[in-house]
Chain A
Amino acid sequence: MGSMDCNAFFNQLDRWMEGERSAGAQAHLRGCPGCRGIVGDLDGIQQTARSMEAADAAPPERIWIALRAQLEQEGLIHEERHGWAEALRGWFDGVFSAVPRPALAGAYLVALIAVSIALAVPGYRRFNGTQVPTQPLTAQLNTAEQDAISSMMNSDPAVTASLQKNLAIVDNYIALCEKSVQEEPENEVARDYLYEAYQQKADLLAQITERGDDR
């Protein structure tokens, strides 16, 4: 059997993640570092989600609802053009279905970030020749940020100031890293820093929300 292309591989990515691995997909993955990277990211997300299943924390409805609505409304990727997007989103839902919602808020963001960056950076943009816009992700992060900040209304002003200052720091690094990735699309180190900066922001937002809900 001949090796499939990236788009064909993506069409069955959800099945791959559930263990259904055809010889063609395996052959493609062996020869495609881009798809290997994405599968690696998704594996990491799956493991993270599993590790969260044991947690029994109470749900912060606000951020969950906001993120969920945002995801459903905007979509991370263009469903009308990519059938695999819907399947992948279904896989996400399945993976995170057992995860408690507070963990989910952060984890979902991190997951979206991971896939978004994997898809959006130039090194991965060869699927169907289509670029994946990062605006929906930015919008989700902004919504999450607004929710998180508003949840801190009654908090210690010094703590709130510290959190806002550090959000600005992370935003600045995201901007620097994005610039760097745009200037040097093949630079894996810059891409890793960008991914980590986004991850740090998601983590910080989840932390702020949790603090807000504790009060």
Chain B
Amino acid sequence: MSSQPSLRSQRCWKTSAVLVPGLLLMGASPALADRIERHFKVDARPVVTIHNPTGLVTVRAWTKSEVMVVAKRATDRVDVDTEQIENRVEIVTRQIPDNASPADLRADLEISVPEDAELQIHNDSGGVNVSNVLGDMNVETIAADVALEDAAGYLTVKTVDGSFVCTRCAGRIEASSISGNFRFIDLRSYHVRAQTSEGNISFNGQFLPNGTYELKNYSGIIEVRFSPNDSFDMSATSLKGKVNNEAKLTPSMHHHGFGRFANSLFGTMNTGRAKLDLSSFNGTINILKKD
């Protein structure tokens, strides 16, 4: 996966970390600080960066030209700072005392954004849910699961062992993880690149003309569902595992095989308008008919 979006987000987090405590600086009373709501007027294509190490991040699109942040803190040992810089809204959760326990640092964020917003989200544990946002998105987590619904744009998702579910997503998707499972449901993307080491990858969606779909893992199962009318040129290789195929493929002339070293399958379904590249080190690859 390209490192560029990651660097961009890293820069944002660093910038965010030195923000002057913003409009949501908490008062002394935990009772007063339990729920905070702030609004920011924005122009088209605002950029919203969210840095919330512990807790749930929920982002929904709405029709207003405004970003609304609702923060629910576990305790007053955690602050939620926000700042608007031109058309960028930055939301940063940070601990107040050094000795706060992880549970004390939890903050759940519910954020409403215009549908063309660009999102940069960092969340170590908790979870990230985004729905109906059509702008570019970069999500990085460690243990947190990521769920995107009806998203579009250039979507990059990186987890360590959080799962990633993308439902009715379009645009371009790049996802990587070490032990997270990936599920792509009713996908309409023209470019998907997904790599997880120990996780499973399940792909159920359209193969768009000229689309490229690259799914890779070390172990686990890669499962791709196809319809009879789908058109793709496929390469499926498992170095130490199996490749199971239900698709009627015509042999491909332009693939060079790794037959000597791996279990490979190359072929074209219908006219081969999309490119499908499946690879695993010792996992199983299943190419199955849609139910």
A159-B143, A163-B160 given; A200·B261 CB < 8 A: no
- How many Å from the CB of B128 to the closest CB on chain A? 15
A-side contacts of B258, CB under 8 Å: 187-189
When each residue 260-275 of chain B gets 1 if its CB lies under 8 Å from chain A and 0 otherwise, what string results?
0110000000000000
Q: Which residue of A lies closest to B279 (CB)?
A: A189
- How many Å from the CB of B123 to the closest CB on chain A? 11
Question: In whole angstroms, how far apart are the Cα atoms of A189 and B240 in the complex?
Answer: 11
Q: Which residue of B lies closest to A57 (CB)?
A: B14
Q: Which residue of B lies closest to A167 (CB)?
A: B178
B102 touches A (CB below 8 Å): yes
A207 touches B (CB below 8 Å): yes
Binds B, one of A7-15, A34-42, A133-141, A168-176: A168-176
Determine whether the beta carbon of B197 is less than 8 Å from that of A51.
no
A-side contacts of B218, CB under 8 Å: 173, 176, 193, 197
B-side contacts of A188, CB under 8 Å: 258
- How many Å from the CB of B153 to the closest CB on chain A? 21
B49 touches A (CB below 8 Å): no
Determine whether the beta carbon of A207 is less than 8 Å from that of B160.
yes
**Interface size bracket, A side:** 35 or more
Determine whether the beta carbon of A158 is less than 8 Å from that of B14.
no
When each residue 127-162 of chain A gets 1 if its CB lies under 8 Å from chain B and 0 otherwise, what string results?
000000000000000000000000000101111001
- How many Å from the CB of A65 to the closest CB on chain B? 20
Determine whether the beta carbon of A189 is less than 8 Å from that of B161.
no
- How many Å from the CB of A196 to the closest CB on chain B? 8
B-side contacts of A48, CB under 8 Å: 3
B-side contacts of A173, CB under 8 Å: 197, 218, 281
Q: Which residue of B lies closest to A48 (CB)?
A: B3
Determine whether the beta carbon of A214 is less than 8 Å from that of B261.
no
Determine whether the beta carbon of A169 is less than 8 Å from that of B4.
no
A-side contacts of B161, CB under 8 Å: 162, 165-166
Determine whether the beta carbon of A169 is less than 8 Å from that of B7.
no
Q: Which residue of B lies closest to A201 (CB)?
A: B178
B124 touches A (CB below 8 Å): yes
A-side contacts of B124, CB under 8 Å: 156, 159, 211
A177 touches B (CB below 8 Å): yes
A180 touches B (CB below 8 Å): yes
Determine whether the beta carbon of B239 is less than 8 Å from that of A193.
yes
A178 touches B (CB below 8 Å): no
Question: In whole angstroms, how far apart are the Cα atoms of A211 and B51 in the complex?
Answer: 12
A-side contacts of B178, CB under 8 Å: 166, 169-170, 200, 204
Question: In whole angstroms, how far apart are the Cα atoms of A187 and B260 in the complex?
Answer: 9
Determine whether the beta carbon of A170 is less than 8 Å from that of B197.
yes
Question: In whole angstroms, how far apart are the Cα atoms of A117 and B142 in the complex?
Answer: 28
Determine whether the beta carbon of B7 is less than 8 Å from that of A158.
no
A-side contacts of B181, CB under 8 Å: none
When each residue 28-62 of chain B gets 1 if its CB lies under 8 Å from chain A and 0 otherwise, what string results?
00000000000000000000000001100000000
Question: In whole angstroms, how far apart are the Cα atoms of A156 and B197 in the complex?
Answer: 24
B-side contacts of A57, CB under 8 Å: 10-11, 14
B-side contacts of A214, CB under 8 Å: 13, 17
B-side contacts of A4, CB under 8 Å: none
Determine whether the beta carbon of A189 is less than 8 Å from that of B160.
no
B-side contacts of A187, CB under 8 Å: 239, 258, 261
A121 touches B (CB below 8 Å): no
Determine whether the beta carbon of A193 is less than 8 Å from that of B7.
no
A56 touches B (CB below 8 Å): yes
Q: Which residue of A lies closest to B100 (CB)?
A: A154
A-side contacts of B13, CB under 8 Å: 214
- How many Å from the CB of A78 to the closest CB on chain B? 31
- Residues of B near any A CB (own CB < 8 A): 3-4, 7, 10-11, 13-14, 17, 53-54, 98, 102, 105, 124-125, 142-143, 160-161, 178-179, 197-198, 218, 237, 239-240, 258, 261-262, 279, 281-282
27 contacts between A and B (CB under 8 A): A48-B3, A52-B3, A54-B7, A55-B7, A55-B11, A56-B11, A58-B14, A103-B7, A156-B53, A156-B125, A158-B102, A158-B143, A159-B124, A159-B125, A159-B143, A162-B161, A166-B161, A166-B178, A166-B179, A169-B197, A176-B281, A187-B239, A188-B258, A193-B218, A200-B178, A200-B197, A204-B178
